[in-house]
Chains A and B, each alone.
Chain A
Amino acid sequence: MTQTRPILIAALLASSVLTIPAAALAQDKILRIGMTAADIPRTLGQPDQGFEGNRFTGMTIYDGLTAWDLSKEDEASVVIPNLATSWAVNPDDTTKWVFNLRDDVTFHDGSAFNAESVVWNVQKVLDEAAPHFDASQVGVTASRMPTLRSARAIDEFTVELTTSEPDSFLPINLTNLFMASPAHWQAKFDETGNAETAWAAFAADPSGTGPFRVTSFVPRERLELAPNTNYWNPARTPKLDGVVLVPLPEANARTAALLSGQVDWIEAPSPDAIPQIESRGFTIYANPQPHVWPWQLSFAEGSPWLDKRVRHAANLCFDREELQILLGGYMGIPKGTVDPTHPWWGNPSFDIRYDLEEAQRLMTEAGFSAANPVKVKVQTSASGSGQMQPIPMNEYLQQSLRDCYFDIELDVIEWNTVFTNWRRGANDESANGAHAINVSFATMDPFFAMVRFTSTGTFPPVSNNWGLFGNDEFDALIADARTTFEDDARDAALARLHARIVEEAPFVWVAHDAGPRAMSSRVTGVVQPKSWFIDIAPMDMN
């Protein structure tokens, strides 16, 4: 007894020492976030790691000329003014746009934001002759604004942007161009004398105009942000004392970090862990995202999907509500590429639903039966960004579609290989004879949501029209949307395009990801919009 007491006291002391940091942190309003990324997304202005990068090191440290409205959870997220207060296309030359800028914005280093800053930030990714051109930022930027070519300052707070062709999608694309401080980069360049090392130094000590500024950066381990008290937008001026971003790529490690109090928020908890997380008092936030988990169908010669009845039958033959249960409830049920609340919806005449009888009727009419099923091969991956739970989901489809006389063969290959094959098309040998490919995609931007899958100009290898779907009607609908510059009229044109896509069904629409994230109940002011993004700036902590 006398021997065990000191051991117990020592153990208690040790455990109290170990819990001090968490308790101390709890006094400050420091929001600690466990990301799914294996590394801190790049901090130099144009983040990598997909939209998780934009979410955590883009929108926090930087601003774009335009931004997504993330203040509503029950409506589609739309583009709103940000560093630009207004914009208009030149009616005489629709490749030229004039953006009017805010005049009250400064970078974290104190330098002023103006039209020259915009020109400099366009040059960093598009002008190879510019001293600050950075090849490493080109890929993630230029592909998201494929028509932007140059920028010119008209006066201190007015800038003209030029596109390669008339493109009404430009204001949407510009949510991806973040404004880094030219003066701060120049200071780094003066210190190092080399553009590449100047960008490396800038990434370690960045300067944007965003609601948070970087205070500490340990590569691959943590990024610490403090509030930008001079932020120009009072509605987004942070109430938090700071934010800490921690890369935790392994789902179980994220869950354990949350449950042990190491972080206050984790991205993408595994569905199996959600009941336990909820039982410990954490809140799960989820909302269907602008994301589609599809089978993209092949229209190559000999494909069974050339028959529209077969395409419709596949869309009608499985119960998405049952699939939703399989995924723990964290899945949106698609009615098309966008949902019926979206401005691009367009009331298609084909209703995507579960209707086994109608699906069987269509398949019988197309000449198939239980004794004579249609053979279909689908290329997919065992994992991958945005792929949710690809194997159980595909196996669910495989079993369900058997009732409608489909004999599905799954061709499961490595994620990066599927992603590369996506660009090569259904006719390429990399397709391995597949009649459909399962690669999920984002639908925030009209080009990425619709155009690249339905234009004859985006057949492989140009873009991702893997299935070679397209004709004159769709090209005309796309051209109409691209050259309609008034916002409502452009959305109406996109709605016509979307309606026709749903009616022609070049996809089997299976799911929208609901993007669950788990947070401590201490975190308040959380709005989970229908978006890949979430705004940290208005959040607070009890």
Chain B
Amino acid sequence: MLGYTLRRIIYTAPVLFGVSVVCFALVHISPGDPLISILPADASVELQDRLRTLYGFDRSYPEQFILWLGRALQGDLGTSIATGRPVTSEVIRAVGNTLMLAAVATFIGFVLGCFFGFVAGYFSNSPLDKAASAAAVFGVSVPHYWLGMVRVIIFSAQLGWLPAAGAGPGGSGQWKFDLEHLSYMILPAITMSVIPMGIIARTVRALVAEILAQEFVIGLRARGLSELGVFLHVVKNAAPTALAVMGVQLGYLLGGSILIETVFSWPGTGMLLNSAIFQRDLPLLQGTILVLALFFVVLNLAVDVMQSALDPRIKR
């Protein structure tokens, strides 16, 4: 097991380097001036050249990449052009906020997804299956930013029950797990959970239906095992795939949903990326993408290791 884990960790090194190259290249080949946030279009040519030199954008791309990578390896992702604040602290704060939201959304999505999936799988082709499958299809199909807006209109603007925007009355810096703060999370988390719920439900439904049709289940029942006992066997067989899907979904949500975070003004990585893209803030954009990519790689590694722990055949 240790050998397998170490091997997987070593495999991630070239992936991480590739990620850093792609990340740097992507933000530099995109159109637009990286100094646009601090340099109005009517700035003189001399002023533009002066600032380009001061920020090091007059150097060659390989030179800029090596400097950036060298600093990134030491934990310094540079300084945001637009705000003048260190990118590392900006990204850490945003990742923390997104992690909190994504974890809650994934939990809701996983629980509901598994519930609908098992119900649909166990009662395959029954009205219950149809209803649960419809819920899953709805989750996958409905534009979640639209759903978010509708919920804001109903629960915030019309009923006034829940806050429409933000991450707490004093901002995320003063977050507490109390009712007042959690009220800010209810709408974005439920909205964010809709897609993972749908995907997990569909996956689990297919898995359960397939497992129930296998001979070993008939064997278990023939041996007189209780229905609960059979259910536990089904869960154990479905778990690795369901976990893998949940890991991937958590990864996507960690990337921050630009749309959800913008609709609810949730100060996570999605909003940070949105802001960095519109301001052409290259250091912030590079730093955020790199950290998110690292999260994704690490998450996949963790899921692989967990899968192999649950199902030793995977190691082979």
Taking the complex as formed, is B262 at the interface, i.e. its CB lies under 8 A from any CB of chain A? yes
Taking the complex as formed, is A257 at the interface, i.e. its CB lies under 8 A from any CB of chain B? yes
Interface string of B121-157 (1 = CB under 8 A from A): 0000000000000000000000000000100110011
A437 nearest CB across to chain B (Å) = 12
> How distant is the Cα of A144 from the Cα of B44 in the complex, in angstroms?
10
A136 lies within 8 A of B32 (CB): no
Interface residues of A (CB under 8 A from B): 14-15, 17-21, 34, 38-39, 42, 44, 48, 134-140, 142-144, 146, 196, 199-200, 203, 216, 218-222, 246-250, 252-253, 255-257, 259-262, 414, 416-417, 419-420, 422-423, 448, 452, 461-464
B263 lies within 8 A of A15 (CB): no
- Interface size class for chain B? 35 or more
B156 lies within 8 A of A247 (CB): no
B84 lies within 8 A of A260 (CB): no
> How distant is the Cα of A420 from the Cα of B40 in the complex, in angstroms?
10
Interface members, chain B 219-268 (any A CB < 8 Å):
262-265, 267
B262 lies within 8 A of A250 (CB): yes
The 5 residue pairs across chains A and B that have the minimum distance between CB atoms? A256-B164, A218-B171, A139-B39, A221-B171, A143-B43
| Minimum CB distance partner of B274 in chain A | A38
Query: Majority SS of interface residues in chain B?
Result: loop
Taking the complex as formed, is B172 at the interface, i.e. its CB lies under 8 A from any CB of chain A? yes
23 A-B pairs within 8 Å (CB atoms) are namely: A19-B160, A42-B84, A48-B37, A134-B84, A135-B51, A138-B51, A139-B35, A143-B43, A199-B84, A200-B85, A200-B86, A218-B172, A248-B165, A250-B265, A253-B152, A253-B165, A256-B164, A257-B165, A259-B157, A259-B164, A260-B164, A261-B160, A416-B36
B180 lies within 8 A of A21 (CB): yes
Task: Tally inter-chain residue pairs, CB-CB below 8 A.
Answer: 175
B180 lies within 8 A of A250 (CB): no
Given contacts A17-B180, A253-B262, contact A416 B280 (CB under 8 A): yes
A221 lies within 8 A of B51 (CB): no
Chain A residues contacting B264 (CB-CB under 8 Å) are: 253
Taking the complex as formed, is B271 at the interface, i.e. its CB lies under 8 A from any CB of chain A? yes
Which one of A18, A138, A203, A221 has the greatest number of beta carbons of chain B within 10 Å? A221
> How distant is the Cα of A452 from the Cα of B40 in the complex, in angstroms?
14
Given contacts A20-B180, A221-B172, A461-B45, contact A15 B161 (CB under 8 A): yes
Q: Known pairs A216-B170, A248-B165, A259-B160. 14 more at Cβ < 8 A? A: A20-B180, A38-B279, A48-B38, A136-B84, A143-B40, A218-B173, A246-B165, A246-B166, A249-B274, A257-B164, A260-B160, A260-B162, A260-B164, A464-B41
A143 lies within 8 A of B44 (CB): yes
Taking the complex as formed, is B93 at the interface, i.e. its CB lies under 8 A from any CB of chain A? yes
A39 lies within 8 A of B31 (CB): no
Taking the complex as formed, is B79 at the interface, i.e. its CB lies under 8 A from any CB of chain A? yes
A139 lies within 8 A of B153 (CB): no
> How distant is the Cα of A103 from the Cα of B275 in the complex, in angstroms?
42
Chain A residues contacting B66 (CB-CB under 8 Å) are: none
A39 lies within 8 A of B82 (CB): yes
Which one of B81, B157, B169, B180 has the greatest number of beta carbons of chain A within 10 Å? B157
Interface members, chain B 82-114 (any A CB < 8 Å):
82-86, 90, 93-94
B275 lies within 8 A of A38 (CB): yes
Interface members, chain B 55-94 (any A CB < 8 Å):
55, 79, 81-86, 90, 93-94
Taking the complex as formed, is B300 at the interface, i.e. its CB lies under 8 A from any CB of chain A? no
B84 nearest CB across to chain A (Å) = 5
Interface residues of B (CB under 8 A from A): 31-33, 35-45, 47, 50-51, 54-55, 79, 81-86, 90, 93-94, 149, 152-153, 156-158, 160-167, 169-174, 179-180, 183, 262-265, 267, 271-272, 274-275, 278-280
B54 lies within 8 A of A464 (CB): no
| Minimum CB distance partner of A144 in chain B | B40
> How distant is the Cα of A247 from the Cα of B160 in the complex, in angstroms?
20
B271 lies within 8 A of A38 (CB): yes
Question: When the two chains form the complex, which single residue of B43, B55, B153, B170 contacts A218, counting CB atoms closer than 8 Å?
Answer: B170
B143 nearest CB across to chain A (Å) = 14
A147 nearest CB across to chain B (Å) = 11
> How distant is the Cα of A532 from the Cα of B84 in the complex, in angstroms?
26
B283 nearest CB across to chain A (Å) = 12
> How distant is the Cα of A253 from the Cα of B265 in the complex, in angstroms?
7
Given contacts A200-B84, A219-B90, contact A18 B164 (CB under 8 A): no
| Minimum CB distance partner of A146 in chain B | B44
| Minimum CB distance partner of B280 in chain A | A416
> How distant is the Cα of A261 from the Cα of B275 in the complex, in angstroms?
26
